[in-house]
């Protein structure tokens, strides 16, 4: 029997690792560590740093190369094919390193349940028991960094993606939008009048960069900053909050 623990590790800051997450890492018989190419090598380095601080004794680590997603018009089809490929890589790595079974840990950015597909990939491995260790999310770190509440008084929050915002615009009746997984600039597709944005890149990390203000005034600054940071680091993780009205 294989048990796979999906462990939320926050946004890359080792201080965000919970005691529960550290315990799960130490109890694992094997830790899977993804590599996403040389241009994103520091993402693997961050995971290694977290392990160096969290582990009280050595735990075997199996590194694997993450398959690349095909660039095709059928987005959902491409994603499902990609998830199938990742599941096969996990299965092969586990079989090679734990042929007799055991406990496997996989570190997941933020929380495994919030706009992350790790659980969907794990579901493709029916002979594996899955556990989830919750983690601090980039959304929590964003609101903390800007020192703002997530919602306005007695009002809901809509969590969406850059793709949804770009394709469908501002959701009807929404006051506050938390936008994740934006490849860049989806906020330019909406009317900026009366909208405030709180944007953050690499939130919680030493490279953290924050911009806040009326969308009509800071949109270009965010786009330029994002492009510069991506060029400097070879990758970028960013998230933002949009709110109609200025009262937080």
Helix axes 41-54, 19-27, angle to 10 degrees: 90
Domains of the chain in sequence order: 2-136 (3.40.1010.10), 139-244 (3.30.950.10)
Contact between residue 106 and residue 118 where contact means Cβ atoms under 8 Å apart: yes
Q: According to the model, what pLDDT value does residue 248 have?
A: 44
pLDDT in tens, 154-165: 899 999 999 999
DSSP state of 5: E
Percent residues over pLDDT 90 in the chain: 80
Rounded to whole angstroms, the Cα distance separating 153 from 77 reads: 40
Average confidence (pLDDT) over 17-33: 96
């Amino acid at each position: 029997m294989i048990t796979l623990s999906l462990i939320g590790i926050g946004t890359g800051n080792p201080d965000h690792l919970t005691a529960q997450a550290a315990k799960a890492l130490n109890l694992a018989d094997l830790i899977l560590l993804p590599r996403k190419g040389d241009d994103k090598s520091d993402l693997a380095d961050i995971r290694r740093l977290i392990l160096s601080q969290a582990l009280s004794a050595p735990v075997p680590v199996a590194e694997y190369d993450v398959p690349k997603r095909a660039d095709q018009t059928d987005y959902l089809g491409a994603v499902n094919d990609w998830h199938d490929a990742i599941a096969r890589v996990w299965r092969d790595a586990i079989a090679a390193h734990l042929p007799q079974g055991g406990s496997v840990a996989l570190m997941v950015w933020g929380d495994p349940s919030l706009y992350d597909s790790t659980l969907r990939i794990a579901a493709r491995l029916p002979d594996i028991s899955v556990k989830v260790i919750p983690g601090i999310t980039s959304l929590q770190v964003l609101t903390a960094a800007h020192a703002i509440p997530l919602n306005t008084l007695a009002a809901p929050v809509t969590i969406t993606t850059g793709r949804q915002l770009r394709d469908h615009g501002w959701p009807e009746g929404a006051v506050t939008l938390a936008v994740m997984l934006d490849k860049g600039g989806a906020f330019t597709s909406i009317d900026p009048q009366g909208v405030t944005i709180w944007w953050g890149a690499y939130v919680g990390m030493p490279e953290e960069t924050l911009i806040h203000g009326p969308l009509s005034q800071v949109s270009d600054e965010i786009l330029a900053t994002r492009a510069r940071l991506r060029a400097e680091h070879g990758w970028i993780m960013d998230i933002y909050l949009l709110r109609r009205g200025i009262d937080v």
